[in-house]
């Protein structure tokens, strides 16, 4: 059953604030990655590749955590525990470009060319991971 992202914390998922993704390695060891985060109203969206370790981990074990901390108040955060429900190549590069503009403050436009070298595009499979929230935790008790 899907958990609801409260209105009070949606800004942490739609504004360009870096998150931390936790996945599980094949040997059971946790693996964490700093990620760009997006939200479509139902799913947390992460843009990556099938070849990166986090991509391999999400393919083999779809259970993940995403943590985003408010940079203006570290006692305010959202932790989304969820499950990868879909992995899609459709419009993944367009999504990466939108994220590039958001996270660069509009200074960069293209993911391939401005962030990563253009030739990298042919060496990887860019996808969007759609994560369905199953549990949401908010804020630190000392906040």
- Tell me, what CATH number does 51's domain have? 2.30.110.10
Residue 123 has pLDDT above 70, yes or no: yes
Instruction: Tell me which residue range forms the domain holding 44.
Output: 7-92+129-138
Q: Is residue 106 part of a domain?
A: no
Q: Is residue 100 part of a domain?
A: no
Residue 107, C-beta contacts closer than 8 angstroms, at least 6 positions apart: none
Number of domains in the chain: 1
Enter the pTM of the model: 0.95
Query: CB atoms < 10 A from the CB of 43, how many?
Result: 21
Mean pLDDT of the chain: 96
CA angle 127, 133, 143 (to 5 degrees): 115
pLDDT given for residue 142 in this prediction:
58
- At residue 1 the predicted structure's pLDDT band, cuts being 50, 70 and 90, is confident
pLDDT given for residue 140 in this prediction:
77
Tell me the percentage of the chain whose pLDDT exceeds 70.
98
Query: CB atoms < 10 A from the CB of 136, how many?
Result: 16
Q: What's the rounded Cα separation, in Å, for the pair 126 and 95?
A: 10
Tell me the percentage of the chain whose pLDDT exceeds 90.
97
């Amino acid at each position: 059953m899907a958990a609801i992202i409260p209105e009070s914390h949606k800004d942490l998922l739609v504004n360009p604030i870096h998150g931390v993704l936790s996945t599980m390695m094949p040997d059971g060891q946790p693996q964490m990655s700093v990620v760009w985060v997006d939200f479509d109203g139902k799913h947390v969206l992460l843009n990556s590749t099938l070849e990166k370790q986090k991509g391999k981990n999400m393919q083999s074990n779809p259970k993940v955590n995403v943590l985003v901390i408010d940079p203006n108040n570290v006692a305010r955060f959202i932790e989304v525990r969820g499950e990868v429900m879909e992995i899609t190549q459709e419009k993944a590069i367009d999504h990466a470009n939108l994220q590039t503009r958001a996270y660069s403050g509009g200074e960069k436009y293209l993911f391939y060319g401005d962030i990563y070298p253009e030739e990298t595009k042919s060496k990887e499979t860019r996808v969007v991971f759609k994560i369905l929230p199953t549990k949401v935790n908010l804020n630190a008790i000392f906040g």
